[in-house]
Every structure is written in structure tokens, then in C-alpha cells.
């Protein structure tokens, strides 16, 4: 859960997807899934 929240914080700070992938050490597909879930369901 903490990692997902950090990704959202990085997005709100204006970081690009490539930077977020490097910072989170997760693949791009995972980041996109987390963003989609955030947009669909919010904080869970």
C-alpha cells in the first residue's frame, strides 16, 4: 500500500512515468495498473 501511495505522490509532484518506474523499482505496466485503480476506486 505504501508503494502505491508513493507513486501517486510522485505523480502529483509532476514526475514523469520513467522517473517513477526508476524510483519505485516496478515495471511500467504495474505503475499503469496502480494509476488506473487509483482513478477508478481512489484510496483503498
**pTM (global) more than 0.75:** yes
Q: Specify the number of domains making up the chain.
A: 1
What's residue 1's pLDDT? 78
How many C-beta atoms surround the C-beta of residue 20 within 10 A?
Answer: 21
Range of the domain at 32: 2-41
Average pLDDT of each block of 10 consecutive residues along the chain (44 residues)?
A: 93 96 96 94 83
DSSP notation for 20-32: HHHHHT--HHHHH
Amino acid at each position: 500500500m505504501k508503494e502505491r501511495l508513493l507513486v501517486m505522490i510522485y505523480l502529483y509532484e509532476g514526475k514523469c512515468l520513467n522517473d517513477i518506474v526508476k524510483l519505485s523499482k516496478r515495471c511500467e505496466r504495474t505503475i499503469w495498473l496502480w494509476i488506473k485503480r487509483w482513478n477508478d476506486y481512489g484510496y483503498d
